[in-house]
Amino acid sequence: MAVGRWWRTRARGWHGRSRLAPALAASALLAAPGFLTDNWYPGILALLIGPLLACVHLDTRHTAAVATWSLLLALVAGTARQRATAPAFAVEFLILLAGSALAVRSAGRRTATEHALVRAERVARESQQAILRPVSARLGGIDVCTRHHCPVPGASVGGDLYDIAHTPFGVRLLIGDVRGHSLAALGTTAAAIRAFRDLAYLTPGLADLATGMDARLSPGLGPEDFVTAVLAEFAPGEVRLVNCGHPPPVRVGKRIRLLEPPEPALPLGLHPTPRQHRVYLQSDDRLLFYTDGLSEARDAGGMDFALLERVGEALSEPSPADALDVLHRMVTAHTGGPPVDDLALILCQSANATALAPVT
């Protein structure tokens, strides 16, 4: 780890010096006329260009280096042409000094803002990982395994969410997606999970649970904000589902099927009228819940991910964890790299389920 920190520090230093050298060279080029002619127009004020350009791209230390270099060149040029004691030179030099100081200050403010944004992004990602804790457990006779994959480095925070609860009404789960990808989305993600945890143990009906979550979330959402969600409740031989504008789960058994709701409902936050529907399950059925990072994954040519076909292949893996890992590798291969959107996956199966053969 110490070697890694040393390398990152050296790399940042090399990167800064690679930008510093052109800025110093530009200042030297601007100062050259001062050594060659008595009528240097527009005078040493041309050297302000160096610090002003530096403050846009460089940090405080490197901008100060460019400013100092410009001031030194101005003094040397003025002395070489015997103008250092002239009143006009003094005025221009003071303006150059003031402009250089402002450039250094501007670089400091910009650098501080950038560092603050990076820290906020990092804290948000760490908070999101804490909220979306991985699950691999057996609850109430149901094996549950989850995966959450963040976008490529540099992408903004996503709004995928999920949670599982072993309630008096059975094993219940939530999977959803907050509209938008920003730090504000993280707050909505936390609020949705908190509402689910508060209400899942107290609300008998799954549709009532969705309505209660909508009532909790709506006051804190903007006019164009919403949360797509699927709520599921497992009972012997069946699963009960409420879908509020979210991609439908996939059942993999003797055949693969999208479990689409009989009647679509609006997402949470838009005051839906959710209705529960039941799906009967065989002992070897597996259910995959996912976010649109899977269903809307596209390759370089804009081709959609072959959802049902690839899910069937991946879920033939005996281990739920292996099945989700294989599915993620399939998505990565399809997109040609890490998905640009968050991807949340939940795989559920009966504790007595056996491995499935690939479905054709």
Torsion of CA 189, 195, 197, 200, to 10 degrees: -130
Residue-wise pLDDT for 257-293, tens only, equals 999 999 989 999 999 999 999 999 998 999 999 999 8
What is the model's pLDDT at position 360?
35
Residue 247 has pLDDT above 90, yes or no: yes
Domains of the chain, residue spans: 2-125, 134-350
User: What superfamily in CATH does domain 134-350 come from?
Assistant: PPM-type phosphatase domain (3.60.40.10)
Maximum mean pLDDT: which of 8-22, 135-149, 229-243:
229-243
What is the model's pLDDT at position 3?
34
What is the model's pLDDT at position 357?
39
User: What distances in angstroms separate CA 281 from CA 127, 139, 172, 276, 278, one per listed residue?
Assistant: 36, 17, 16, 16, 10
Residue-wise pLDDT for 135-190, tens only, equals 888 998 999 999 988 764 544 456 789 999 999 999 999 999 998 655 567 788 88
pTM score: 0.66
With 0-12 CB in 10 A as exposed, 13-18 as middle and 19+ as buried, what is 177?
buried
What's the half-sphere exposure (Cβ side, CA atoms, 13 Å) at 212? Answer: 18
Residue with more model confidence, 48 or 213: 213
Provide the b/e sequence for 229-238 (b: ≥16 CB within 10 Å).
bbbbbbeeee
| Phi and psi at residue 99, to the nearest 5° | -65, -40
Alpha helices in the chain (DSSP H): 2-36, 49-57, 60-80, 87-131, 183-199, 206-217, 292-295, 307-314, 320-335
Cα–Cα distance measured from residue 38 to residue 212, given in angstroms and rounded to the nearest whole number: 81
